[in-house]
Amino acid sequence: QVQLVESGGGLVQAGGSLRLSCAASRSIFSFNVMGWYRQAPGKQRELVAVISSGRTNYAESVKGRFTISSDNAKNTVDLQMNSLQPEDTAVYYCNVRSRIDAYWGQGTQVTVSS
């Protein structure tokens, strides 16, 4: 088992930045893929960014604006979000998964005002 705790969400004006952090209760070294997802009201949860063996992948809508990073020593997965837009408003969830299991955080709200 591993607990994931997200932080860093909040209210920001369009064009602003936020940095989300996901802290794991134990080592994340064993997880193959770590990522961030988001869910806006009335919409399905969608992939934002993932990192696996140092390689990153982003949703088209956030490419060039968001950056995902992980720190195995600190057991954290961060998401730097720049040039935020109102359509980025959602609850953001951290996810880690291996071949046999997957874990989600409780989510952190990001609200971008126009």
Distance, in Å, from the CA atom of 36 to the CA atom of 78, rounded to the nearest integer, reads: 9
Three-point CA angle 61, 45, 53, nearest 5°: 70
DSSP calls for 45-96: -EEEEEEETTEEEE-GGGTTTEEEEEETTTTEEEEEE-S--GGG-EEEEEEE
**Can you give the pLDDT at residue 69?**
96
pLDDT at 32 exceeding the cut of 90 = no
pLDDT, averaged across the chain? 95
- pLDDT tens profile 99-110: 899 999 999 999
Residue type, 60: E
pLDDT at 54 exceeding the cut of 90 = no
